[in-house]
């Protein structure tokens, strides 16, 4: 079932491989959202909150129409802002199947959002970025190559930036997300670097700071994986505010999520 080389999880026709579904998501995009957490990710971030979504095996196959039906039942609660978010794992590993899913959601007048690490930029992804995704939330892991590798286990963070450029070119809305870890990502020079890099982007509406916390640890233990960030600590209120102040120089809106 799994084709690792293509960086893509092969599914049955018209299905998505789902880890879980949150029906009252209020932290993954604007308003109240149905959040579909898809199974599988190519990275293994040290702080991953959903490490059980990383494995590309597992999950449950849902028919796309079934998911659309669920979204329709929740639609009265989406109001003017809410909608559907696909998150993960890395949802774009299933970009081929996401195209018809998002197409259907758009037909139903539902706002669509992709929460991604930006490492998959194939022709399906481009279709999503250019046409069907009303919002993209792009996760910026680290501004240095070494930092990126330390955190994610992979090199070549440039793909994230290429991805951002592509979205910028589409002219459609984008949010950045940044996990703030004391001494690892919460350093003034890194924050300034990120601000400098993105300051001229017109599609970026806001950046969300996600202060690091250890809530995911027990999931790592359940999986029998070693949690390597054990020694990292959580930010103090002041550290969060200081980071936020720096970012405010570059971004329209800085939100602590």
Partner 1 sequence: MEVKQLKSGVWTESVNVRDFVFNNITPYHGTHDFLVGPSERTQRLWEICKEATQEERQNNGVRSVDTETISTVSAFEAGYIDKENEVIVGLQTDELLKRTMKPFGGFKVVQKALSEQGLEPNKSLTNLFSKYVKTHNDGVFDAYTSEIKKFRSLGFLTGLPDNYARGRIIGDYRRVALYGINFLIESKKADLENITGPMSDAVIRLREEVAEQIKALKEMIELGAKYDLDLARPAQNAQEAVQWTYMAYLAAVKSQDGAAMSLGNVSTFLDIFIEKDLEEGLITEVEAQEYIDQFVMKLRMVRHLRMGAYDEIFAGDPTWVTEAIGGMLADGRSKVTKTSFRFLNTLYNLGPSPEPNITILWSESLPQNFKDYCAKVSIDTSSIQFENDNLMRENRGSDDYGIACCVSYQELGKSIQFFGARTNLAKTLLLALNGGRCEFTGQQVVDGIPEYTDEYLDFDKVMANFKIAMKEVARVYNDSMNIIHYMHDKYYYEKAQMALIDTNPSINLAYGIAGLSIVADSLSAIKHAKVKPIRNEEGLTVDFKIEGEFPCYGNDDDRVDLLARQAVADFNNELKQLPVYKNAEPTMSVLTITSNVSYGKKTGATPDGRAHGIPFAPGANPMHGRDKNGAIASLNSVSKIDYKDSLDGISNTFSIVPKSLGSSEQDRIDNLATTLDGYFSRNAQHLNVNVLNKETLLDAMENPGEYPQLTIRVSGYAVNFVRLTKEQQMEVITRSFHESM
138 binds ligand SF4 (CB under 6 A): no
Q: How far is the CB of 177 from partner 1 (least distance, A)?
A: 12
Token pair in block for residue 251: 């971004």
68 binds ligand SF4 (CB under 6 A): no
Of the pair 196, 257, the CB lying nearest ligand SF4 is at 257
- Four-CA torsion 101, 34, 139, 186, nearest 10 degrees: 180
Q: What span, in angstroms and rounded, lies between the C-alpha atoms of 23 and 110?
A: 14
Residue choice 43, 129, 180, 247 for contact with ligand SF4 (CB under 6 A): 43
- What residue spans of 137-187 are helical by DSSP H? 145-152, 158-170
Of the pair 19, 119, the CB lying nearest partner 1 is at 19
**DSSP-derived 3-state class of residue 174:** strand
Contact 105, 68 (CB under 8 A): yes
Q: Could you tell which of ligand SF4, partner 1, none binds residue 53, using a CB distance below 5 to 8 A set by kind? A: ligand SF4
**DSSP-derived 3-state class of residue 251:** coil
For 91, 119, 182, 210, the CA distances from 137, given in Å and listed in that order, are: 12, 13, 22, 13
Contact 207, 197 (CB under 8 A): no
Conformation bin of residue 196: beta by default, left when phi > 0, alpha when psi is -120 to 50: alpha
Q: Which residues bind partner 1 (CB under 8 A)?
A: 20, 22-27, 31-32, 73-74, 76-82, 255-257
Q: Could you tell which of ligand SF4, partner 1, none binds residue 54, using a CB distance below 5 to 8 A set by kind? A: ligand SF4
Q: Could you tell which of partner 1, ligand SF4, none binds residue 22, using a CB distance below 5 to 8 A set by kind? A: partner 1
Q: Could you tell which of partner 1, ligand SF4, none binds residue 257, using a CB distance below 5 to 8 A set by kind? A: partner 1
Of the pair 90, 97, the CB lying nearest ligand SF4 is at 90
Residues 72-101, interacting with ligand SF4 (CB under 6 A): 88-90
54 binds ligand SF4 (CB under 6 A): yes
Of the pair 140, 174, the CB lying nearest ligand SF4 is at 140
Which residue stretch of 48-56, 71-79, 126-134, 181-189 sits at the interface with ligand SF4 (rule: CB under 6 A)? Answer: 48-56
* Angle made by CA atoms 44, 191, 116, in degrees to the nearest 5: 35
Q: What span, in angstroms and rounded, lies between the C-alpha atoms of 40 and 8?
A: 9
Q: How far is the CB of 121 from ligand SF4 (least distance, A)?
A: 15
Contact 60, 18 (CB under 8 A): yes
Q: Could you tell which of ligand SF4, partner 1, none binds residue 10, using a CB distance below 5 to 8 A set by kind? A: none
**DSSP-derived 3-state class of residue 148:** helix
Token pair in block for residue 10: 């092969």
Site size for ligand SF4 (CB under 6 A): 12
Of the pair 53, 250, the CB lying nearest ligand SF4 is at 53
Footprint of ligand SF4 on this chain (CB under 6 A)? 41, 43-45, 48, 50, 53-54, 88-90, 117
């Amino acid at each position: 079932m799994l084709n690792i080389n293509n960086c893509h999880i092969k599914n049955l026709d018209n299905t998505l491989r789902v880890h879980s579904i949150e029906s009252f998501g209020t932290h993954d995009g604007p308003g109240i959202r149905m959040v579909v957490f898809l199974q599988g990710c190519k990275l293994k971030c040290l702080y991953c909150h959903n490490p059980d979504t990383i494995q590309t095996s597992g999950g449950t196959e849902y028919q796309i129409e079934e998911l659309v039906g669920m979204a329709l039942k929740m639609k009265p609660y989406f109001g003017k802002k809410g909608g559907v978010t696909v998150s993960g794992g890395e949802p774009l590993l299933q970009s081929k199947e996401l195209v018809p899913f998002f197409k259907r959601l758009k037909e139903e007048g539902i706002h669509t959002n992709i929460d991604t690490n930006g490492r998959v930029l194939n022709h399906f992804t481009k279709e999503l970025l250019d046409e069907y995704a009303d919002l993209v939330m792009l996760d910026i892991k680290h501004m240095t190559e070494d930092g990126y590798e330390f955190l994610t286990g992979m090199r070549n963070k440039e793909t994230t930036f290429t991805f951002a450029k592509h979205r910028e070119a589409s002219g459609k809305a984008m949010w950045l997300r940044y996990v703030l870890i004391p001494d690892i990502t919460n350093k003034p020079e890194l924050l300034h670097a990120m601000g400098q890099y993105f300051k001229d982007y017109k599609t970026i509406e806001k950046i969300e700071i996600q202060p690091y916390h250890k809530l995911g640890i027990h999931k790592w233990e359940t999986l029998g994986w070693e949690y390597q960030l054990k020694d990292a600590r959580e930010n103090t209120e002041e550290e969060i505010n200081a980071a936020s102040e720096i970012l405010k120089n570059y971004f329209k809106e800085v939100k602590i999520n």
